[in-house]
Amino acid sequence: MPLTLQQMRRNCAKARERMAQARAEGWAFGAFNLDDEATLRAVVQAAAAKNAPVLVEVSQGEVDDIGLDNVRDMVDNFKYQYGVEIYVNLDHSPNVEAAKDGIEAGFEFIHIDVSQSNHDASDEEIIAATKEVVAYAKLTGAQVESEPHYFGGGSNVFEAEIDYEEVKKTFSTPEQAKAFVEATGIDTFAAAIGNLHGKYAVPKVLDLELLQRIRDAIDCNISLHGGSDTPGHYFRDAVKIGVSKVNINSDMRYAYRTSLEKVLADNPKEYSVAKLISKEVVAAVQAVVESKLEDLNSAGKAVV
């Protein structure tokens, strides 16, 4: 059932208050991708087990498969069933209209990422689109996230090693971050400090000194995308510096696929795949989520 505007505003106000609290207290929200009911269940059960607040997020692919209103309803059903603190983020929304749809569906967090769909988008185009979404988000109070450039990688497993000399060319700078935040009025800046979407042949290396300089330069929230395959000590330090949100996807998908392959191989005559997923796959994904919640210092921080 669709939320009323009053309910949306109440949810968004609480989410905004909690993001500020996370930054002040030195912890961060884990933002975990929702691919299907099984991954949502894994995230919610992890949140319940760790008494941690969480975000679940969908990108355009999941929106096309599931639907914005269905995502909202699924999350709310699990929220009330398990009694957890949970919010929804529209991740990498490719254009203004898609972002507005997420706002109207009652998502508490909106990430507008014009450069994701158009790698050649100009600074002016990115700023203009972001400003339009920021203005429209006042309808509900949803928090808007963005960045001034394309963020590399993808939600997959990559065999090639990371070419950090190339990656460094896309790093955020304190000056760039400050100018972008001031030009757009966003609530959350997505920083690039060595974090990349996906899993790679070697663990990622984050430039925490750069993160500190970005934190000193801007007063809004900071998020880190591409949190998979990152040693946990980076997260523990990042939340102390002031990161309030970290996105996790590929680690969950890897656990999902590898555990599913194993349980299918171990049970060749079981044709109720949903039963196998419920028994084995959800637990594997849940374990990944729980480990991230510990690294982000959000365990025990839920307010229901």
| Residue 207 annotated in active site | no
User: Coil, strand or helix: which one is 77?
Assistant: helix
Q: Which long-range contacts (CB under 8 A, 24 or more apart) does 98-105 make?
A: 98/60, 98/63, 99/133, 99/136, 99/144, 100/133, 100/136, 101/68, 102/68, 102/142, 103/133, 103/136, 103/137, 103/139, 103/140, 103/142, 104/139, 105/2, 105/68, 105/69, 105/71, 105/72
Query: Catalytic residue among 69, 73, 91, 163, which?
Result: 91
CB 48 within 8 A of CB 302: no
User: Coil, strand or helix: which one is 303?
Assistant: coil
**Token couple for 22:** 């996370």
Contacts of 200 (CB under 8 A, 6+ apart): 158, 160, 161, 162, 229
Q: Which residues are marked as active site?
A: 91
